[in-house]
A and B are shown apart, each in its own frame.
Chain A
Amino acid sequence: MRDPLGRAPAVLLVPAALATALLVVPLAAMVAATTWSGLPAQLRSEPLREALWLSLTTATAAALICLVLGLPLAWVLARIDFPGRSVVRALVSVPLVLPPVVAGVALRTAFGRRGLLGEPILELTGFSFPFTTWGVVLSHVFVALPFVVISVEGAFRAAGREYDAAAATLGAGRWTAFRRVSVPLALPGIVAGLVLGWARALGEFGATITFNGNYPGTTQVMPNLIYVTRQSDQDAALALSLVMLLVSVAVLLLLRDRWLGTP
């Protein structure tokens, strides 16, 4: 097993070990601190089932909306040369680096009852996003869409333009080339982007709590439930966190071939 290039230098190995420990130790500590005997009761509790169901459904709805809106945007960014493309890409990526609470404040400024769009919508239809499940989906889409767009754009770029050109020589229009060539070629990247967006939506807390509030069954998603429970019952909060950890690990297993597989 000797590497012909020589031993790995300690200057790289030590920080690498520290990095691994930094990421693994807190999660391991959480698992170790969980009171396993109380776990089954926690898992059967009504608030947990309600919150988990809400989390899964809203994240899935958000991922579907990201697919419908994000896939075309990713294609436009990858394939169409237009002035200001890099500006659009930069603007679309902003929510990636935005603190989630700021995302919540921004959403409220736009879609709140007194918001830029929220007020006219309320007057016209009597509907407002805050405190509704649709509001939760909206904030999930806001935080997840950039992940989907950026990773799908990368997938489209990897499935280069020349395939579109080849399709065009065979008489395919752009729509046909998109459907029959680009999407199939980029499919693994599209799926990975969607799963990433879905996972991001599942963990979303800041924007949701700021914009939508917290009510069991309508807006109380898992992270909200964990945050509120933590204030009165640490053991229950740990058990709930463990459920989220399991869901995250499940997502990683789903992506294993892409990220965790050996190249």
Chain B
Amino acid sequence: MPIDAKVVHDVARLSRLEVDPAEAPRFVKELQSILAYVEQLQSLDVSGIEPTSQVGAGVKTALREDVVVPSEVREEALEQAPDRDGDYFRVPRVV
């Protein structure tokens, strides 16, 4: 399915990215050319091939023990908040 302005608009909404209408045509063009390039993968025969999502799959790894370790960085982390209300992070209201 080719990329057009509407697709870019929809994907931008899905990823919460404001795209300036002046910029949009450029994005459309660039994404089109990239997707045209990656089309070459369609020509490969991948039947029966397992996908690799993690090269380490199958390696025995120990899980974490269920022990509480309080973090000492709470204040340092909260200080970075763009907006705070006491103990809470504050954002414009969710509709």
Q: A and B bound?
A: no
